[in-house]
Amino acid sequence: MKLRWKNFKRIDLCKIKKWLKINPVITKFANSPIFHDYKYFIKKDTKYILGKNLFLKKVYHKRRLVGIIFIYCDDRNITINPIIVNPKYAHNGYGKAIISDFINNHFAITNQLANKITIGVTSDNYIALRLFKSLNFKLDNIHPNQDYYDYVFYLEN
């Protein structure tokens, strides 16, 4: 499946408003400061700078917007959280395709070399947990409140 990656822009918010009504997890992230004020991540007190080590990407298959992904890069480690698949195309393999394509093309997408990719997931997101395991991600960390996990994929360089 050939995917195209484009930068997410503030104007793109209108494209995902319908998604918000369908999935409360998406609503949580859509209400975060990153969606509403890019300057939030450009302040001096943060280590993430949009376009340098923080990326918001739209993912297209053909002409369809199939997903949005947040990518944080830090010292050869890449963290993805969240991956949001367009609910209209959910359960059609797009989540797997997005993650697989990112693993294979992470440098072209971020211009960052990485040793590992970490994905965060809530413990009740059984579909995502099964997906990450199927792509050979390994459980790396269970957060103290035990309802949030980090899964890691180690890259061969």
Question: Per-residue pLDDT tens for 28-56?
Answer: 555 554 444 444 444 444 666 777 888 88
* Nearest CA among 83, 75, 155 for reference residue 120: 83
- What confidence score (pLDDT) does residue 17 get? 67
Angle between helical axes of 126-134 and 94-110 (0-180°, round to 10):
60
More confident residue, 8 or 63: 63
Q: What is the mean pLDDT of residues 46-68?
A: 84
pLDDT over 60 (residue 141): yes
- What confidence score (pLDDT) does residue 153 get? 94
Domains in the chain: boundaries: 3-154
Q: What is the mean pLDDT of residues 119-140?
A: 90
Question: Top-level CATH class of 3-154?
Answer: alpha beta
Both tokens assigned to 27: 């609503």
- pLDDT tens-digit readout, 74-99: 888 999 988 888 888 989 999 999 99
Distance CA 22, CA 86 (A): 10
- What confidence score (pLDDT) does residue 3 get? 96
> Mean pLDDT, the chain, as a whole number?
81
